Amino acid sequence: MKRVFYTLTALAALTAAAQEKPATPREPGHKDRNSFNQMYDLLATPNMFRTASGAPGPAYYQQQADYKMDIELDDKNTKLYGTETITYTNNAPEALEYLWVQLDQNENAADSPSKLIESQNMDPAYTAQGFLKRYAEKEFDGGFKLEYVKDAAGKPMKYTVNQTMMRIDLPTPLKHGEKVSFSIKWWYNINNYQIVGGRSGYEHFDADNNNLYVIAQFYPRMAVYNDVEGWQHMQFWGGGEFALTFGNFEVNITTPADHVLDGTGVLQNRKDVFTPEQVKRWELATKTYDKPVVIVTQEEATTTEKGFSDKKKTWKLKAENVRDFAFSSSRKFIYDAMAVKLNDKSVMAISLYPKEANPLWGDSSTRLVAHTLKTYSKYTFDYPYPKAISVSAADQGMEYPMICWNFGRPDEKGFVSDPIKWGNAGVIIHEVGHNFFPMIVNSDERQWTWMDEGLNSFLEYLTEQEWDAKFPSRRGPADKIVPYMSGDQKFLEPIMTNSESIHQFGNNAYAKPAAGLNILREVIMGHDLFDHAFKTYAHRWKFKHPTPEDFFRTMEDASAVDLDWFWRGWFYSTDYVDLSIKEVKQYSVTDVKPEGLKEVNIRKGRFGKETGPFVYMAPDNPDANKADKKAFNRAEVKMLKEYIDEKFTAEEKAALREPKFFYEVTFEKLGGLPMPVIAQLTYEDGTTETQTFPVQLWRKENTTAKRVIATGKKVVMIQLDPKLLTADIDVENNAWPRAAGPDKFDQLKDKK
């Protein structure tokens, strides 16, 4: 037997050689490469901390860090001094041997390594000032100057600083449920952020010699410890923002007596720091829902900015359940506020701005804050904090709990162009919106920028459109992300990429996730399912620390829409959408058997076969004159007519549809990302009808799919994704027949 086998094999080999046919190797097998494969390979295994449904599990815990701080702002020397007592509660089941504290200001230290990680080219030219700054002047002496770290008894504690992180060693491990208190004394030189850079610092006004301070990341802050990362102590390189622990704050801030200040939390001593008249105006504002009430007027601010008081005053602020604390202070501030009605409570919308921001800020900033709080509350949960402040700061767009800095002022002649107006409105909505993500839904920005920026950019888009239907939103609509997604793959990373490694931050972490959520809402899930699921995520994770998986899982859990294919494609890969109409064939109905049709195979029952007679679908000759093409009339096909007359009552006959034209449409998937097929049919009479086929049309990893469409009217055009809702990167192949629109360039030439 064996011999026979060998002989046969040899013979076969000889034959093959004789014919010189190249031997095609047997194709190897492969692992599952289906786009619809469930994400067991990518998502962490659910556990007692985080469930498979995307909710916090029964053993979910988070740490608590409470702060008591005394801060002094030295305006003359632009220095900030502070002593703080942190009380840290370990709610983790395990004991901690040491604590990690973030020293973000050290990013500005003269020897900060974050200044050494960018690739540089020699600049061909400099201004004198630029040259000196670059090559001759001393570096800005930034970073924390730590005076001490002491325990509750006042004894020095052992600590080690590694760049922007400080480890404090505990004499005995901190067990589950235990608290530890310790104090840190520090100071630092405040950076002029227009020169040194940074998300906080001061802006200097040459004309009146005043500073406008926006102060944040200004105190040593507890790093997050949790079930996912352990200590989140990835260094602050400047890109990935913050991971912070919730806690309560009591902060006393001493400033020059003529400053106006506001910050995170509730002001405890309004009567000590504002004039009686201003206190009265504030009280009026708390009852005024239709327009801002000016509390510190432009006249008052203009007077104040001229004096430089040597006296001091102290502002006392208290904040509960916040992840951070920030404040803003200046002699230049105009201050206005209005009340915002939410379901069962009122909160305050506030703006602080110098006279240089008017006209513009007085008209719109506080109204925008109020609109943002209402709109975001509608899509998530009622804004839980007592207030939200928008501060005018040059070139900034940065968010902290209850307070944010926003760019956009009139030009030096007081003119507000549309780009300035929209840019300012957009940044206010965006930064106030950050109160929801990540201030309250406290995701880890150091690791995943998109979790707050993407979700926030999505809600920013909805809020902008509700503010003004003509709002030129830069991010959100699916078609706006096409230039990015069709770009060179060398410069694209999946959204699920660490914040520091992204080439195009704005596109990757803001615009693409926002566009993805819009596609889910507009195309894949629909408003009701999406809005409910999104709200569920917000509710489940408010005042908690969610991960990407918690978001992905909740969106499915609350909607019963399988989205693994979407997360895989849109978030974990750089695949793009490119669907096209490959071919459209038209058919006529006839009872004459077409030439070339050999046999009809229609099953009868389980084992039998139909013998006819049949109606035949005859493909139209594509060359035939289309004008001659006749609509199908079932009365003209004898065999059908007889059948109907015999079997159907008049009533049943009347209920039958009367298709007249028959098409077989071939769709092609050229991109790696599947997408529902939205096909708009345009009929001869100009009317349209849209047929949508679910994304599961592509579930077998097929690259083409055919659908048969029967219509009552003649189809003159089929257009895929007519409203540009799917981020299809090539829309030229979306139409049948391929419509070459008028060439814009020819029109422009003709105009010339």
Interaction site with other proteins (CB under 8 A):
119-121, 127, 129-130, 133, 193-199, 238-239, 241, 394-398, 407, 411, 413, 415, 417-420, 422-423, 426-427, 430-431, 449, 472, 474, 483-484, 486-488, 490-491, 503-507, 510, 730, 743-745, 748-749, 751-752
Coil, strand, or helix at residue 252? strand
Q: 391, exposed or middle or buried, with CB in 10 Å at 0-12, 13-18, 19+?
A: buried
Residue type, 499: S
φ/ψ of 149, rounded to 5, equals: -130, 120
- Residue 603 or 749: which CB sits closer to other proteins? 749
- Residue 173 or 359: which CB sits closer to other proteins? 359
- Residue 386 or 487: which CB sits closer to other proteins? 487
- Residue 334 or 398: which CB sits closer to other proteins? 398
- Residue 195 or 656: which CB sits closer to other proteins? 195
* Nearest distance from C-beta of residue 713 to other proteins, angstroms: 33
Nearest to 518 by CA among 236, 724, 266, 368: 724
* Nearest distance from C-beta of residue 668 to other proteins, angstroms: 13
* Nearest distance from C-beta of residue 204 to other proteins, angstroms: 10
Q: In what order do the strands lie in the sheet with 159-162?
A: 159-162, 165-174, 96-102, 221-222
- Residue 140 or 587: which CB sits closer to other proteins? 140
* Nearest distance from C-beta of residue 238 to other proteins, angstroms: 4
Q: 56, exposed or middle or buried, with CB in 10 Å at 0-12, 13-18, 19+?
A: middle
- Residue 190 or 253: which CB sits closer to other proteins? 190
Q: How far is CA 425 from the centre of its chain?
A: 18
640: which residues sit within 8 A by CB, 6+ positions away?
Answer: 589, 591, 615, 634
389: which residues sit within 8 A by CB, 6+ positions away?
Answer: 262, 263, 328, 350, 351, 352, 369, 402, 403, 404
- Residue 490 or 647: which CB sits closer to other proteins? 490
* Nearest distance from C-beta of residue 512 to other proteins, angstroms: 12
Q: How far apart, in whole angstroms, are the C-alpha atoms of residue 520 and residue 725?
A: 10
- Residue 227 or 575: which CB sits closer to other proteins? 575
User: Which residues, in sequence order, are bridge partners of residue 66?
Assistant: 87
- Residue 152 or 195: which CB sits closer to other proteins? 195
Distances in whole angstroms, Cα of residue 359 to Cα of each of 234, 363, 412, 414: 43, 7, 11, 7
Q: What's the DSSP call for residue 435?
A: I
* Nearest distance from C-beta of residue 740 to other proteins, angstroms: 11
Structure tokens at 268: 């405890």
User: Which residues, in sequence order, are bridge partners of residue 616?
Assistant: 590
Coil, strand, or helix at residue 273? helix
φ/ψ of 113, rounded to 5, equals: -65, -15
Q: How far apart, in whole angstroms, are the C-alpha atoms of residue 329 and residue 306?
A: 16
* Nearest distance from C-beta of residue 20 to other proteins, angstroms: 35
- Residue 486 or 573: which CB sits closer to other proteins? 486
Q: For the residues of 548-603, what is the DSSP string, one character each?
A: HHHHHHHHHHTT----HHHIIIIIS----B-EEEEEEEEEEEESSPPTT------E
Q: What's the DSSP call for residue 39?
A: G
Residue 438: asked if its preceding bond is cis (omega within 30°), the reply is: yes
Number of H helices, E strands in the chain: 17, 33
* Nearest distance from C-beta of residue 109 to other proteins, angstroms: 14
* Nearest distance from C-beta of residue 334 to other proteins, angstroms: 23
* Nearest distance from C-beta of residue 488 to other proteins, angstroms: 4
* Nearest distance from C-beta of residue 308 to other proteins, angstroms: 23
Quote the crossing angle between the two packed helices 548-557 and 527-541, to the nearest 10°: 140
- Residue 125 or 654: which CB sits closer to other proteins? 125
- Residue 435 or 559: which CB sits closer to other proteins? 435
- CA angle, 182 then 251 then 212, to 5°: 125
* Nearest distance from C-beta of residue 21 to other proteins, angstroms: 34
* Nearest distance from C-beta of residue 394 to other proteins, angstroms: 8
* Nearest distance from C-beta of residue 510 to other proteins, angstroms: 7
Which residue is it, tokens 């760019």?
A: 407
Up-side HSE of residue 489: CA atoms within 13 Å toward CB? Answer: 6
Q: How far apart, in whole angstroms, are the C-alpha atoms of residue 653 and residue 645?
A: 8
- Residue 133 or 313: which CB sits closer to other proteins? 133
